[in-house]
Amino acid sequence: MNSIKNPTPGASKYKPSQESDYETESIAGGCIITKYTGMDDVVVIPAINNEKVKSVGSNAFRACENLTNIIILDGVERIGERAPSCRRDSIGSGTIMACKNLTDISIPDSVIKIKRWAFSECNSLAKIKIPSSVIDISDKAFCQCGNLLTIAIDTKNAMFSDEDGVLFNKDKSILIRYPAGKNQAAYSIPDSVTELRNSAFDNCYISVQYEAVNIHYYFLST
């Protein structure tokens, strides 16, 4: 899987995927895709059985190693719901987990939460762009992404920021996630940082240096 886009210019040149390639559940106003079972390299999410696709469920594309591109057309509002009763507007646990050929992600502006393990084990993922709409990111969202170099935050985001590809809260007092693929022997934590998220440096084999004496670990269960 190389990218997830919403919407994608030129998407009309691709045929919608076969309805039989999806497992779905009905929800208010349409349906949720709970599992993709096809073998296509390019997937265009269609209407299914005349129902509008409103959501893409948690684990729906987990370990789909054949995919090079997922095209999410207008109308899909939520990514990462486990079932109709789950929270809205989030990328949930394991949604795109273990997609080993994924190299780039564009997250729709409708997403407000990225939960733990959402992109875990996406070993080819090099960069992820977080839109201004996101207000909650688990420090475990990118676990075992060994080639991740950059977490880029939209400058209009009110909750998060980035510096040299490293994820912080807005005022850079909390270091949330250091990309595991950054090829640095050492990293100096900015003086503004007073808290480190529990998994901030998971799978990072570097020397961490800092001057502040009041840095402590902040354990978050998101």
**DSSP state letter for 48:** B
The model's pTM is 0.70
Alpha helix (H) residue ranges in the chain: none
**DSSP state letter for 90:** E
Is the peptide bond prior to 7 cis by the omega test (within 30 degrees of 0)?
A: yes
Which of these, 155, 200, 150, 193, lies nearest to 171 by C-alpha position? Answer: 193
Q: What is the pLDDT of residues 152-175, one digit of tens each?
A: 999 999 999 999 999 999 999 999
Answer whether 95's CB lies under 8 Å from 72's CB: no
Comparing 107 with 189, which gets the higher pLDDT? 189
Q: How confident is the model at residue 55 (pLDDT cuts 50, 70, 90)?
A: confident
Average pLDDT over residues 108-115: 75
Q: How confident is the model at residue 13 (pLDDT cuts 50, 70, 90)?
A: low
The reported pLDDT for the residue numbered 4 is 46
Does 131 have pLDDT greater than 50? yes
Q: Which domains does the chain have, with CATH numbers?
A: 1-125 (3.80.10)
Does 94 have pLDDT greater than 70? no
Which two structure tokens, joined as six digits, stand for 165? 């590809």
**Backbone φ and ψ of 75, nearest 5°:** 115, -25
The reported pLDDT for the residue numbered 74 is 57
Q: What is the pLDDT of residues 173-185, one digit of tens each?
A: 999 999 999 878 8
**DSSP state letter for 51:** B
Which of these, 59, 97, 61, lies nearest to 81 by C-alpha position? Answer: 59
Most confident of 6-15, 86-95, 158-167: 158-167
